[in-house]
Amino acid sequence: MQLAKLTDINYLIAPDPKRAGLTRAVRGIDQSGQEADISVVEERPLTIFLNRREIVTAMTIGDYPELLALGFLRNQGMLQDDETVTSVDFDEELETVVVRTDTETDYEDKLNRKTRTSGCAVGTVFGDMMEGLADVSLPELQVKTSDLYALSSKINRTPSLYLEAGAIHGTVLCQADQPLVYMEDVGRHNAVDKVAGWMFQTGTSGADKVLYTTGRLTSEMVIKCALMGISALVSRSGFTAWGVEIANQVGLTLVGRMKGKRFVCLSGAERLIMDADLNSIADEPSKSARKGSRA
Amino acid sequence: MQLAKLTDINYLIAPDPKRAGLTRAVRGIDQSGQEADISVVEERPLTIFLNRREIVTAMTIGDYPELLALGFLRNQGMLQDDETVTSVDFDEELETVVVRTDTETDYEDKLNRKTRTSGCAVGTVFGDMMEGLADVSLPELQVKTSDLYALSSKINRTPSLYLEAGAIHGTVLCQADQPLVYMEDVGRHNAVDKVAGWMFQTGTSGADKVLYTTGRLTSEMVIKCALMGISALVSRSGFTAWGVEIANQVGLTLVGRMKGKRFVCLSGAERLIMDADLNSIADEPSKSARKGSRA
C-alpha cells in the first residue's frame, strides 16, 4: 500500500503516529517463540471536570485532552452554544482536565437532580442525549459518491497510529473530498468527541461537513454526529438497527460497509449524488485492507 | 469458508444467529443504486437494577439479559461469591433487569458514598475495579499453542451473528481445545459480562479456562478476565499498553493478533507450551478472514 503524502491532503490536524507518548514498544514472543518488540498504543485515564464537578473518567490515548473534554461535554449537552468557556486546564500529573464556564450550567443541576432521583429515573444520561436530538435540524446536504470514494482512499492511506500500532479507532471531519481533522483514540467515542471539541473551539459549523469513522454505526455514533450538526456519517464498518432508525428520524445520511467500490446506504439515499464511475474505483486489495470493519 | 458442524464442537451455549429479534432486515441501496435488504443487528437499552438501586443502562443486542445483569454486577464487584441472589427479573417492556440479593450489599454503600463525595474522588468506578484486582490470585495455567490454534479455527467457523450481520463482538469461554460458551453483543464488555453471568449462575470456575475475544485487549478486558479468575486471554485483535501492564501485574497470559498461524504473546509467555506444528496450521485465507481485528 502506498501511504499518502500529507502535503497532498492539507489536513488541519493529521495523526502524528511518531509523537512520543502515544505508543510504547513492548517485548514479547511471536508464534515461533522469537522475541519481538511490538508497538502498542497507550491507554490512560483522564478525568473530566466541569467547574467544580467531576463528570467522567475516560480511557484515552492521551493526545488532545482539552479537545476531548470540550467535545465530550458538548456531545453530552453540558456545554451550550451560548456558553463561554473561561478556561480549560489539563494537569498531566493528576490526569485531569478542568473546564470552567462563566456560569453554573443547567447540566450541573441535572446531575444533582439525577442523584436525588436515582433509582426511579431510567437511563438518565442516555435519555438526555435523545432529548437534545429533538432540537437538531440537519441541513439537507447532498453528498457525492465520488467524494466519498476520494475520502475513503485518502484516509486509508494517511499515516496513522492505526497503521503504526493497530487497536485504535479513527474519526475524520471532512468537507467535500477533503479530510480536514483526523483524530484517533482507543475508544471511537473519544475520537469523535475530540473532533467535536475542535469544532467547538474553532467555531466550525457541521453544516457542510461529512464525518468518517472507522467504527460501527451504532446509536451512540449517530446521535453524536447529529448533535455536531453533521448530516452525513460514513464508515468502513457495519450498522446497528437503532443507529439506522435514529438516522432516519433526524434526516442523517448513513453510509456503511464502505470498502473498495462497495458501500451500503441505509438512510438518506435520496441525498446521495451517484456520480462516481465505479469502473475507476479499485476493489480493496486484501493486502492493503485496513484491518477493522468491526468495532 | 466451511462453517463448523456444531455437533463437532459441543457448545454449552452457541450463537443463535437465526433467533428472532436479534437482527432486522433494513432496506437501503448499494453502490450501484440497487435496492438491497441488509441484515443489521439490534441494539436496545437495558437498565440494570441491584435491589432498589438503578446501576447502569447498557446498550445490548438483547439476548440473555439476566446473564448480562449478573455478569456486569459481578465484574463491577457488586456481587460477591458469598452473596445469595434471590431473584433476577427481566421486564421486556420496561427494558429492565432487577437483581435482588438477600442482603443490602457493600456496593450500594459505595454508590452512596460516591454520591456524597462527588467532585473529589477521581474515577470511582475505575478505582473500584483496580481495587478488586489486588485480591485476585490467578492459577499458573499452562496453555498449549496447539489448543489456541484449534480454538481459533473452531470459533471462526462457528455460525454466528457476526458472520450473519457483522458489527458485533464475540467472547468465548474455552477449556483446552473446546469452546464452551460463545456470547455476542454490540459491546465487547457486554459479551464478556454475559459469559461472567453464566459462570456465576452455574458456579463454573475460571481456573482451567481460556477466554477468547474478538475485541482488543484493553485494560477493561484484562481486568474483567482477571476478575473472572481466568488466567489466559486470547484475541485476533491488538493490545493497549495498559492492558499488557495489568496482565503482567496479575500474571495473566495475553495472546493477541492471532490470525492464521500468526500470534504475539506480550504477557506470560513462560506459561505457553509451544507444541503446535506451524507447518500444519493454515495461513488465514483473505477470503475467509473475519472482518475485525480492531475494536
Among B59, B189, B240, B255, pick the best mutation site for testing chain A contact (most A Cβ within 10 A): B240
Mean pLDDT of B206-231: 94
Q: Do A294 and B169 touch (CB under 8 A)?
A: yes
CA distance A97 to chain B (A): 12
Q: Tell whether the model's pLDDT for residue B25 goes beyond 90.
A: yes
Cα dihedral A108→A111→A115→A118 (10° resolution): 160
Residue among B32, B276, B294 whose CB faces A278 most closely: B32
Mean pLDDT lowest for which of A41-50, B29-38, B146-155?
A41-50
Q: What are B143's strand-pairing partners?
A: B272
Among B27, B31, B110, pick the best mutation site for testing chain A contact (most A Cβ within 10 A): B31
Nearest 5 degrees, angle CA A207-CA A212-CA A214? 155
| Cβ of residue B220 closer than 8 Å to a chain A Cβ | yes
CA distance B266 to chain A (A): 4
A44-98 pLDDT tens trace: 988 899 998 888 888 899 999 999 999 999 988 888 878 899 999 999 999 999 9
Mean pLDDT of A233-252: 95
| Cβ of residue B29 closer than 8 Å to a chain A Cβ | yes
Q: Tell whether the model's pLDDT for residue B290 goes beyond 60.
A: no
| Cβ of residue B15 closer than 8 Å to a chain A Cβ | no
| Cβ of residue A180 closer than 8 Å to a chain B Cβ | no
The model's confidence at residue B187, banded by pLDDT at 50, 70 and 90, is: confident
Mean pLDDT lowest for which of A95-109, B46-60, B91-105, B169-183?
A95-109
Query: B-contacting residues of A 41-100, CB under 8 Å?
Result: 41-45, 47, 49, 52-54, 57, 59, 94-96
pLDDT at B123: 35
Residues B168-191 as b or e (16 or more Cβ within 10 Å = b): bbbbbbbeebbbbbbbbbbbbbbb
Q: Do B295 and A291 touch (CB under 8 A)?
A: no
The model's confidence at residue A191, banded by pLDDT at 50, 70 and 90, is: very high
The model's confidence at residue A124, banded by pLDDT at 50, 70 and 90, is: very low
Share of chain A above pLDDT 90, in %: 64
Q: Do A57 and B278 touch (CB under 8 A)?
A: no
Higher pLDDT, A3 or B35: B35
- Using a CB-CB cut-off of 8 Å, the residues of chain A touching B266 are 26-28, 38, 40
Chain-wide mean pLDDT for chain B?
86
pLDDT at A81: 79
A3-20 pLDDT tens trace: 666 566 889 999 999 999
Provide the whole-model pTM: 0.88
Q: Do A241 and B41 touch (CB under 8 A)?
A: yes
B221-274 pLDDT tens trace: 999 999 999 999 999 999 999 999 999 999 999 999 999 999 999 999 999 999
Task: Give the cell for residue B221.
Answer: 478486558
- ipTM value, please give it: 0.85
Mean pLDDT of A175-186: 96
Q: Tell whether the model's pLDDT for residue B121 goes beyond 80.
A: no
Task: Decide if B15 contacts B158 (C-beta within 8 A).
Answer: yes
Query: A-contacting residues of B 90-149, CB under 8 Å?
Result: 94-96, 115, 118-123, 125-126, 145
CB contacts < 8 A (A, B)? 228
Residue type at position B5: K
Residue type at position B17: P
Q: Measuring CA to CA, which residue among B197, B233, B237 is closest to residue B212?
A: B233
Number of H helices, E strands in chain A: 9, 14
Higher pLDDT, B42 or A80: B42
